Amino acid sequence: MNLTELIIKSIIILVIFGVTLVIAMYSTWAERKVAGFMQDRLGPNRAGPFGLLQPLADAGKMFFKEDFIPSQANKWLFIIGPCLAILTALMSSAVIPFGDSIRYEGLTIPVQGVEINIGILYVFGVVSLGVYGIMVGGWASNNKFSLLGAIRAASQNISYEIAMGLAIIAILMMTGSLSLRSIVAGQESFLTWNVFTQPLGFIIFLTCAFAECNRTPFDLPECETELVGGYHTEYSSMKLGFYLFAEYINMFVSSAVISTLYFGGYHYPFMNTVHNALTGSLGEVTGHNLATLIGMLVLFAKIFFFIFFFMWVRWTLPRFRYDQLMNLGWKSLIPLSILNVVVTGFGLLYDIEYASWLIVIVMVVLAVMSSARAPKRVVQPQRS
Amino acid sequence: MQLTNRSKQVSNKEMTLAEKMYLPAIAQGLAITIKHFFQKKPTIQYPEVKRYLGPIFRGHHVLKRDEEGRERCTACGLCSLACPAEAISMVAAERKKGEENLYREEKYAAVYEINMLRCIFCGLCEEACPKQAVYLRHDRFVPVFTERDQVIYGKDRLVEQLDDRYVRTGSEVRATPTEPTLSRSAT
């Protein structure tokens, strides 16, 4: 690795880091805007044009609040908790391929923090570490509500990681690689995007992503009605800010992972035509770099859509009850994802690419039949 | 008692498979929220846009002058008696020779003070006044104050200015607080 490559690589890493932070920052603004619009309000619009300075104001407020450590809390663990949460959240964006590659002075450098051949395993490992941040924070607070929130977070993440992993195994079987870049490369044409070959896996993965990010409808760890504030009840100032920030970074990372795994990453329809046209008219190097840039923009559009989707769901659905959450995870998602793996295996064996649509079709037929057979509900007017 | 026809009876029947899958219901819910996302917002951007509050809004007090510009108030004290918050106080004085063009009655209020921290804008002073001297204007708010010495409004801030007459003739009066010119008239 020579100096130019090193410099370009560090620039890429820094830019990814910065972009992650900025997107997480503006997610807080977007969340409030989206919430407002869905509730027929306008959301924050006082700080700067369209309220765009709101995140800065919020951060300023967070920094100037009293940084309080309860006297009975375990001081060091109390500090380590939010640090772990934000550290793990930031680490996971390192392996996501944000674009094809940059050509510069005969070098071809992939737009990615690190290209490792076990990318998705790395993401999984770091995401499961993320629960330590919550667990440590909740434990160190020395408060039963924090601890209950932390326990909920831990058990929920463990339960949903299984279904998530099984959903991904189907993809790994089809791609034959753990590297995120080769998973993206396997979805080159539009109809081979994994969302079309693995529709059930996508729905399972999406649900589990919601649970992993502790977002509504699975935000039981911070369930205000039951647990005061959940695991961050005792936190204030920027420590609380770190927890909230980590949640938004996680949201960005899971949107990126969903786009990469299921929506073709930086691929888009007629990509090769665009690439050839650009290289043809602007030259090999500039054209290629420009095509990479378009691919990156497409990926970010997908990511933003999923961030919006996360918010959309949050402001639509109420919270699950805890037994409903566990029932859904263990009794529905895990059996379904195992079935998905088996059917995908048969599909690979007999060379049918769209095999897992079988499960979807069977389920839709069953659902329609059962609702047709169910006794009609008579809507009775309320008696006075 | 039935208030709306939208109420639905809750049932404990076992859910069908489609309901157990949650997805159709989730899709329905998402459709509702996204519809609201694109709807026009009813918000009025308050400090920039002020809406008309109606002809009977009770805002800033005004001590009226009559057609010839003389103060109508005769310092009878009925307003301060009617005031449930005891916000009004006054000192009466006798009209001297040569002041007939300033005060309509033989007795007038030398000091007339309203404590705006106490005032609850109930409008009872307006109803009590036998001389139609005190009104709560429908087109102007009492501005926000930040210091205690800004709280008590004396005659300097209450008596009607001759170039800014206040009239409220009927219920059809319309003047928004953003357009004070509409309420100015020469009566």
CB contact under 8 A, A41 and B5: no
Relative to beta strand B61-63, strand B134-136 is antiparallel
Please report the pLDDT score of residue B88 as a whole number.
Answer: 92
Give the β-pairing of A107-110 and B152-153.
Answer: unpaired
Least confident of A2-6, A30-34, A121-125, B104-108: A2-6
Give me the pLDDT at residue B180, please: 41
Is B59:B140 a contact under the CB 8 Å cutoff? yes
Optimal mutation site among B37, B40, B45, interface A, most CBs of chain A within 10 A: B37
From CA A175, how far away is CA A186, in angstroms rounded? 6
Size of interface A-B (CB pairs under 8 A): 65
Going by pLDDT thresholds of 50, 70 and 90, the confidence category of residue B184 is very low
- Contact residues, chain B to chain A, C-beta under 8 Å: 1-2, 5, 7-9, 11, 13, 16-19, 21-24, 26, 29-30, 32-34, 36-37, 39, 41-43
Residue of chain B with shortest Cα separation from A314: B30
B23 vs A contacts (CB less than 8 Å): 203
Residue A380 has pLDDT above 70, yes or no: no
- Name which of A35-39, A96-100, A341-345, B2-6 the model is least confident about: B2-6
Residue A112 pLDDT exceeds 60: yes
Whether the per-residue pLDDT at A381 is higher than 60: the answer is no
Beta-strand ranges (E) seen in chain B are: 61-63, 88-94, 107-115, 134-136, 152-153
How much is the average pLDDT of B105-114? 90
Tell me, what CATH number does B154's domain have?
A: 3.30.70.3270
Instruction: Indicate whether B33 belongs to any domain.
Output: no
- CB-based contact B8 A379, cutoff 8 Å: yes
Q: Which of A114-118, A163-167, A198-202 has the lowest mean pLDDT?
A: A114-118
Residue from the list A41, A375, A382 with its beta carbon closest to the beta carbon of B43: A41
Single-letter amino acid code for the residue at B145: F
Is residue A351 situated within a structural domain?
Answer: no
Q: Which residue of B has its CA nearest to A34?
A: B37
Number of domains in chain B: 1
* pLDDT for residue A142 is more than 70: yes
Domain count, chain A: 1
User: CB under 8 Å to A307, separation ≥6 — which residues?
Assistant: A23, A27, A30, A251, A252, A255
pLDDT at B120 over 60: yes
Binned at pLDDT 50, 70 and 90, residue A309 comes out as very high
Which residue does chain A place closest to B12, by CA atoms? A377
SS3 B112: strand
DSSP one-letter string for A310-334? HHHHHTTPPPPPHHHHHIIIIIIIH
Is it the case that residue A383 has pLDDT exceeding 60? no
pLDDT at B84: 92
A275: closest CA among A107, A101, A96? A101
Q: Domain range holding B109? A: 61-183
Range of the domain at A124: 3-338
CA distance B29 to chain A (A): 6
> What's the average model confidence in pLDDT over B68-76?
87
B12 belongs to a structural domain? no
For the ranges A277-291, B4-18, B135-149, B173-187, the lowest mean pLDDT is seen at B173-187
pLDDT of residue B186: 37
As a whole number of angstroms, the distance between CA A157 and CA A80 comes to: 20
**pLDDT band, residue A382 (cuts 50/70/90):** low
Q: Where are the beta strands (DSSP E) in A107-252?
A: 107-110
Q: Cβ(A89)–Cβ(A144) under 8 Å?
A: no
Chain B residues within an 8 Å CB radius of A211: none
- pLDDT tens digits along A51-65: 889 888 888 888 888
Nearest-by-CA chain A residue for B14: A374
**Sign of the alpha-carbon dihedral angle for A147, A150, A155, A158:** negative
> How far is Cα A79 from Cα A69, in angstroms, rounded to an integer?
9
Confidence of residue B133 (pLDDT cuts 50, 70, 90): confident
pLDDT band at B187 (very low <50, low <70, confident <90, very high): very low
Phi and psi angles of residue B36, each rounded to the nearest 5 degrees, phi first: -65, -30
How much is the pLDDT for A306? 92
Name the helix (H) or strand (E) containing A101: strand A101-104
Is A7's pLDDT higher than 60?
A: yes
pLDDT score for B174: 54
Mean pLDDT over A25-45 rounds to 89
Report pLDDT for B178.
Answer: 41
Q: Check A316 against B30: CB less than 8 A apart.
A: yes
Contact A163, A334 (CB under 8 A): yes
User: Shortest CB distance from B16 goes to which of A316, A328, A370?
Assistant: A370
Whether B145 shows a pLDDT value over 60: the answer reads yes
A224-249 tens-digit pLDDT? 777 777 788 888 888 888 888 888 99
Query: What is the C-alpha to C-alpha distance for residues A32 and B40, in angstroms, rounded to an integer?
Result: 17
Does a structural domain hold residue A121? Answer: yes
- Could you tell me if residue B105 is inside a domain? yes
B91 is a domain residue: yes
Segment A174-191 shows an average pLDDT of 83
For A146, the token pair is: 């924090």
Distance in angstroms (rounded) separating the CA atoms of residues A156 and A82: 19
* CA A36/CA A49 separation, integer angstroms: 16
Q: How far is B24 from chain A (nearest CA, A)?
A: 10
Mean pLDDT for A263-286 is: 82
Strand partners, B65: B71
Q: What is the pLDDT of residues A250-269, one digit of tens each?
A: 899 999 999 988 888 888 88
Q: Which of A42, A312, A382 sits opposite B7 (nearest CB)?
A: A382
* pLDDT on residue A129: 85
Tell me which residue in B1, B8, B29 faces A316 most closely, judged by beta carbons: B29
Mean pLDDT, range B84-106, rounded to an integer: 89
Does the pLDDT value for residue A342 go beyond 50?
A: yes
Residue contact A312–B9, C-beta within 8 A: no
Check CB contact under 8 Å for B29 and A363: no
| Residues A243 and A232 sit within 8 Å (Cβ to Cβ) | yes
Classify residue B18: in a domain, yes or no.
no
Global ipTM: 0.78
| pLDDT tops 80 at residue A88 | yes
Per the domain annotation, does A367 fall within a domain? Answer: no
Per-residue pLDDT, averaged over B66-77, amounts to: 87
A41 CB neighbours in chain B (<8 A) are: 41, 43
A contacts of B1 (beta carbons < 8 Å): 384
Report the residue of A359, A368, A370 to disrupt the B interface, i.e. the one with the largest count of B CBs within 10 Å: A370
| Chain A interface residues (partner B, CB cutoff 8 A) | 34, 37-42, 203, 312-313, 315-317, 328, 363, 366-368, 370-371, 374-375, 377, 379-382, 384
Mean pLDDT for the stretch of residues A9-35? 88
- CA–CA separation, A33 and A379 (whole Å): 37
Asked if B2's CB is within 8 angstroms of A384's CB, the reply is yes
Residue B177 has pLDDT above 60, yes or no: no
* B52/B139 Cα distance (integer angstroms): 8
Task: Give CA separation, A155 vs A85, A87, A128, A141, B142, in Å.
Answer: 17, 21, 11, 19, 57
Query: What residue in B sits closest to A365 (Cα-Cα)?
Result: B18
Average pLDDT over residues A348-374: 83
